[in-house]
Amino acid sequence: MEKAKIEYSIKRAHDIANLQNQIAERQAIINNYISFGVLVRGDAIRKITDLRKTDDTVGVVYVAQVTAAPSMPLDNCPDHQLINELQAQIDILQTELTQKLNEEAESHAHP
């Protein structure tokens, strides 16, 4: 039983670190755009599409958006639209991170 608890704790720590990394990567792209007017479109598009495929919540939100209104391919989107999409992903990831951190705090409160 103790081994399973340790493995779950390690997985939770990995998930938290992964979410923090994903947020930081997107925030760095946004910060470069705001500070220097530079957007490496390939990086931004790759981050957007990768998360749409790997994160269930982001995928559901994307499908709902596409269903509600026509969308254009990311390659054709203006820079500000890519930045808005990255920010929307950060918002979702931040919510997921908060939930994971709360679960972590709860697990330490009730060992």
Does the structure show a pLDDT above 70 at 79?
Answer: yes
Q: What DSSP letter does each residue of 30-97 carry, written as one string?
A: HHHHHHHS---HHHHHHHHHHHHHH-HHHHHHHHHHHHHS----GGGS-HHHHHHHHHHHHHHHHHHH
* pLDDT digit string, tens, across residues 15-73: 999 999 999 999 999 999 999 999 999 999 999 999 999 999 999 988 888 778 777 89
How many whole angstroms separate alpha carbon 49 and alpha carbon 86? 10
Please give the model's pTM, rounded to 2 decimal places. Answer: 0.89
Per-residue model confidence (pLDDT) at position 66 = 79
Q: Tell which residue, 110, 55, 111, has the closest CA to residue 88.
A: 55
Contact 93, 22 (CB under 8 A): yes
